[in-house]
Amino acid sequence: MSERWALAAEEEGDGALLAPLGPDGTPAGPVRREPDLVAAVRDRPEVARWVWRSTAEVYPRLLAAGVRVERCYDVEDAEQLLLGAEGRLGEPRSAAAAWARLRNGPVPPDPPPRTAEPGSQDSLFEPRRVTPVPFEGLLAVYAEQLHRHDRVGHPGRMRLLTAAESAGMLVAAEMHRAGLPWRADVHRALLTELLGERYAGGGEPRRLAELAGEVSAALGRRVRPDLPADVVKAFGQAGVRLGSTRRWELARVDHPAVEPLIAYKKLYRIWTAHGWSWLADWVRDGRFRPEYLPGGTVSGRWTTNGGGALQIPKVIRRAVVADEGWRLVVADADQMEPRVLAAISRDPGLMEVAGHPDDLYTRLSARAFSGDREHAKLALLGAVYGQTSGDGLKNLAALRRRFPLAVAYVDDAAKAGEEGRLVRTWLGRTSPPAVGSGDADEAGLPQEGGDEPVADEGEFVPGYASGNTRARGRFTRNFVVQGSAADWALLMLAALRRSLAGMRAELVFFQHDEVIVHCPAEEAEAVTEAVRAAGDEAGRITFGDTPVRFPFTAATVERYSDAK
């Protein structure tokens, strides 16, 4: 049937340790050592799931040898998710730590996170400094983890979550390997067009220097536009008081320096964040290969390491061009937040609105906002983000009248946060505890030790400032929606990956609710269909039996910038 094997790379050399696993996760045969990890996997196509310490440690080696696996179980990722579910977030998550806890031994701290170095696109191949765990430890931790799934609030959902995020780990490694097609020549031409030529001695390109000159001329003295303090001072001398140099504040000021200043800031950003040095650092052989970290944010959204892959400015997307004869299928999930809110709150009205593939906000506005789509959208996003002022509040009242369960769902999450309780996504990813709350979670599980996670020390101290309490409420309010959307996205990616397995198409980019698949032109139609199917399938698997649809806007293009 579905065979499961545990696998570990030997610390030295190419060898591997392996063991077949029984239904309860314990070894079903002797541990064996084989001299070639890649061959060990390649020669066992019947294995349906590989259990290993860390996907990032093992899978790049397999991919480099052209070997893919169907499924895996990432023990360290699962440890992190289980610790969260148990209200123990912040305890070390390494397999070595989990093994130490099982034996009541001293628990080693986690190694610090690695940051990708510019230029070293193969950072995934560099072994991470980890505390080694013996193979018997890995086996024991895995078997124990299976039991721990049974003790959380929703065991079935938790099993789905750990399996899905493990699938995400496979996708992440495969996307890193494939890379986003990137035309350096197009990028360079774009930079020259926007920024002007570079001067020989370095420094700002021509267009930036010109704009800096215009700003200075308008303010009557030399100003460095990239220094907020200098800008505020110069405006002050010109009789304009600024609290900051943020764009929205500048845009309200009537002064001839504003326009060139805003233009400067926009171009400066492109120059520093996605300019010539970025190109030299991150694009190699026509591909941009960021390192993806599934579950890199507390809410479960992915992050990337190096190159700012999730913040590629729209104007730069012209450099993302499919290979000759190939296309990019660019697909965006439509109105994901309200659809997810409908599914998790089970609000009948909102589920009905979200039960169609056409524009949700239009339907919403027809129901509760006399056809005003913008108001409908603002009200819903305001509810999800915890907006505290503006039009949002009046519109929120209308939303609450028509969709009481949906609004109550996020209100309850906000209340939980304000009271220092934990909240969870639909599949069971848990919010980090409020630092300073010190309480065990609602399941009444004790918290070991007095050390809180070091992150955010000093924020959210109850009783210190009500502003922090409210901020905590906004965070948990958003967490349940954003995080459940991330749950869905994992299942969507897993489903899409499965459908693409028989094609030449490759997933090359993922950004929260958007995917890019690079494929031969003749496969584009099938890929588009696969994406659409993956969206709805993920909706069914993640959220169960609801009428909510998860449609995509998909475009087949040669350049990323031509989508939407």
Partner DNA sequence: TAAATTGGCGCC
Partner DNA sequence: AAAGGGCGCCAATTTA
Q: Which spans of this chain sit near DNA (rule: CB under 7 A)?
A: 115-116, 118, 226-229, 232, 244-248, 252, 265-266, 269, 272-273, 278, 296-299, 301, 303-308, 310-314, 332, 381-382, 385-392, 471, 474-475, 478-479, 482, 511-514
DSSP 13: S
Residue 487 near residue 161 (C-beta atoms within 8 A): yes
Which of residues 43 and 117 has its CB atom nearest to DNA in the complex? 117
Which of residues 52 and 460 has its CB atom nearest to DNA in the complex? 460
| Least separation in angstroms between CB 105 and DNA | 28
Strand 506-510, strand 514-520: pairing: antiparallel
Which of residues 200 and 229 has its CB atom nearest to DNA in the complex? 229
| Least separation in angstroms between CB 47 and DNA | 33
Q: Identity (one letter) of the amino acid at 546?
A: T
Take residue 98 and report the two structure tokens written for it: 């989990």
Name 452's Cβ contacts closer than 8 Å, sequence gap at least 6.
Answer: 90, 433, 435, 436, 438
Residue 500 near residue 517 (C-beta atoms within 8 A): yes
| Least separation in angstroms between CB 343 and DNA | 18
The CB-based long-range contact list for 11-18 (8 Å cut-off, 24+ gap) reads: 11/132, 14/38, 16/40, 17/135
Which of residues 303 and 546 has its CB atom nearest to DNA in the complex? 303
| Least separation in angstroms between CB 506 and DNA | 20
Which of residues 305 and 542 has its CB atom nearest to DNA in the complex? 305
Give the full edge-to-edge strand order of the sheet including 514-520. 506-510, 514-520, 326-333, 552-557
| Least separation in angstroms between CB 314 and DNA | 4
| Least separation in angstroms between CB 356 and DNA | 21
Name 238's Cβ contacts closer than 8 Å, sequence gap at least 6.
Answer: 219, 220, 255, 257
Which of residues 37 and 211 has its CB atom nearest to DNA in the complex? 211
Residue 403 near residue 341 (C-beta atoms within 8 A): no
| Least separation in angstroms between CB 428 and DNA | 18
* 46/523 Cα distance (integer angstroms): 28
Packing angle, helices 391-402 and 360-368, rounded to 10: 80
Which of residues 135 and 278 has its CB atom nearest to DNA in the complex? 278
Which of residues 192 and 387 has its CB atom nearest to DNA in the complex? 387
Secondary structure of residue 537 in the 3-state scheme: helix
Polymer length in residues for the chain: 564
Helix and strand numbers (H, E) in the chain are: 20, 14
| Least separation in angstroms between CB 248 and DNA | 5
